[in-house]
Amino acid sequence: MVLCPMTRCRARDTLATPLMTEYYCQRATEGGLLISEGVCVAANGHGFVNTAGIYTSEQIESWKAVTQGVHKRGAIFFLQLWHVGRASHTELQPGNAAPISPTSNSVPLPWRVTLIDADGKATKQMYSAPRPLHIDEIPQIIQYFRNGAKNAREAGFDGCEIHGAHGYILDAFIKDTINDRTDAYGGSIENRCKLLMEVTQAVVDEIGASKTAVRISPFSVYNSVGPDSNPEALFTYLHSKLDKFGLAYIHLTEPEFSFIKDNFKWAPQYAHVTKRRITPLLVSGGHTLDTGNEAIGSGYADLVGYGRTFIANPDLVKRFAKDAQLNTLNSSTIYGDYTARGYTDYPFLDEEADAGIEA
């Protein structure tokens, strides 16, 4: 079982904080795999307030305390390399520039994003209209991810997961419901997946294939991206290409993934695509203890990721081992402020043994 990457919005001025160290250390176990929240690879990669970066020396230094704390607990720690692409606002962009998008149109995401005004108060504003990304700018996007991997290694992370899912920049290139490019990065499945493959190769060249992973969501609708017109063909192509890199794992957001669905019903309808896989498969998207065991026991997956359940249960590994009752998630505190509320204050089964963790 794996801690999934989850945006929690607790960074300060793009830096990791002591509170974040406590959060990850609470969820670290001997030999366990943690994947960090999405960490922005460039200044123009931010789409939320209070998100961390990995593109400056100060940011690298801020993450070292987090990785050291996790390693003291015996866990393995991957950083998720993230660029939001069009899912941003001009106030979150350098020089108040427009966010970048693979599309030729400038239609913004049709909902509001949280911003912080001059008085420090949270406000809600509509996402900004993006601008098309010119083909000459694509090498810089690839370099952002490569530099992020290099910096993550310097910060002490054991590896990196490339965020190629959920409607962010790489996924927006992949899906034909939004990618209307007519150049080498648009049209066919091969062309639409070209940027993800180039980013993957760049990260592999920087830190090695065994320390590189990729997350994909070929079936999901997220940030107004998807579903693809032929998700099975897209998944088949993506998996076949990524499986040849020798990656640490491929992380699949399953078709059933939804933030608002309470009753998760697991039915791995695309298991035949990954049946003869070389690369370990990590699946996530609402799993319970029972469906996780089924995914592993059936041979469908090698790893199962837990997100919201892990938020509310920092000792989830122990609770699953004991088949103990789970804490209930407070969804209103998923994206938070600089406090511990809804972040590091969920109770442990054994408060005396686990709550007073020193990073």
Cα 47 to chain centroid, rounded:
13
* pLDDT of 259: 42
Active site residues: 168
| Sequence-distant (≥ 6) Cβ neighbours of residue 158 within 8 angstroms | 76, 77, 78, 211
Q: Domain coordinates of the chain in residue numbers?
A: 2-89+134-356
pLDDT digits (tens, 9 = 90+) for 164-215: 999 999 999 999 999 999 999 999 999 999 999 999 999 999 999 999 999 9
Among candidate residues 133, 203, 125, 134, the one with its CA nearest the CA of residue 169: 133
User: Is the model's pLDDT at 255 over the cut of 80?
Assistant: no
CA-to-CA dists, residue 138 to 85, 100, 101, 171, 216, angstroms? 12, 11, 11, 14, 20
Type of residue numbered 247: L
Type of residue numbered 281: L
Q: Are strands 122-126 and 249-253 parallel, antiparallel or unpaired?
A: unpaired
Q: How many helices (H) and strands (E) does the chain have?
A: 11, 12
| Sequence-distant (≥ 6) Cβ neighbours of residue 346 within 8 angstroms | 311, 312, 313, 314, 327
Whole-angstrom distance, CA of residue 308 vs CA of residue 311: 5
Confidence of residue 149 (pLDDT cuts 50, 70, 90): very high
Looking at per-residue pLDDT, the higher value among 52 and 116 belongs to 52
Average pLDDT across the chain, whole number: 92
User: Is the model's pLDDT at 306 over the cut of 60?
Assistant: yes
Whole-angstrom distance, CA of residue 343 vs CA of residue 6: 12
User: Is the model's pLDDT at 303 over the cut of 70?
Assistant: yes
**Which residues in 32-127 belong to E strands, given as ranges?**
33-40, 76-82, 100-101, 112-116, 122-126
Among candidate residues 217, 218, 81, the one with its CA nearest the CA of residue 161: 81
* pLDDT of 224: 85
**Considering the entire predicted model, what is its pTM?**
0.94
Which backbone phi and psi does 87 adopt, to 5 degrees?
Answer: -85, 65
Whole-angstrom distance, CA of residue 76 vs CA of residue 248: 12
3-state SS, residue 233: helix
CATH of domain 2-89+134-356: 3.20.20.70
Q: Which two tokens stand for residue 162?
A: 């490339």
The fraction of the chain above a pLDDT of 70, given in percent, is 93
User: Is the model's pLDDT at 264 over the cut of 90?
Assistant: no
CB atoms within 10 A of CB 58: 11
